[in-house]
Amino acid sequence: MHIVHPAVVSALLFSIGVYGVLARRNTILVLMSVELMLNAVNLNLVAFDVWLADRLHSGQVLTLFVIVIAAAEVGLGLAIVLALYRNRRTVDLDRLRALAEPAAASQGTGEERHRTTGGEAQAEGGRGGGQAVRRERGTL
């Protein structure tokens, strides 16, 4: 078996995965692209293990570890995506770049909102009142 064929296929798969990570905006598609890149690495590991005729089959053992890590990455990644979707109602990466919480979710209950918008703004001499109103409207 020539090593060139699996190496070319692996390079193509890895390139498609890199393009998917850099160009996509959907979080789930980015996770799928990372999986594609990991599978390209697995293909290389197995191909070189067979080509070198390793008696210990270390490439295949390392491939099993990569598969386990990829499964854990998918589980954790999908859990994060679901949590973000519950909070933000989107999986668009451009909208998820800001680490701050959305304005409606960060305000808390009505009593806490009244304390932060009215009480603290008046205690500071009215300086923070405009920011609290803008925060409620989502324009801050």
Distance CA(45)–CA(49), nearest Å, equals: 6
Backbone angles phi, psi at 94, to 5 degrees: -65, -35
Q: What is the pLDDT of residues 10-45, one digit of tens each?
A: 999 999 999 999 998 888 899 999 999 999 999 999
**Full-prediction pTM beyond 0.75?**
no
Instruction: Give residue 119's pLDDT.
Output: 47
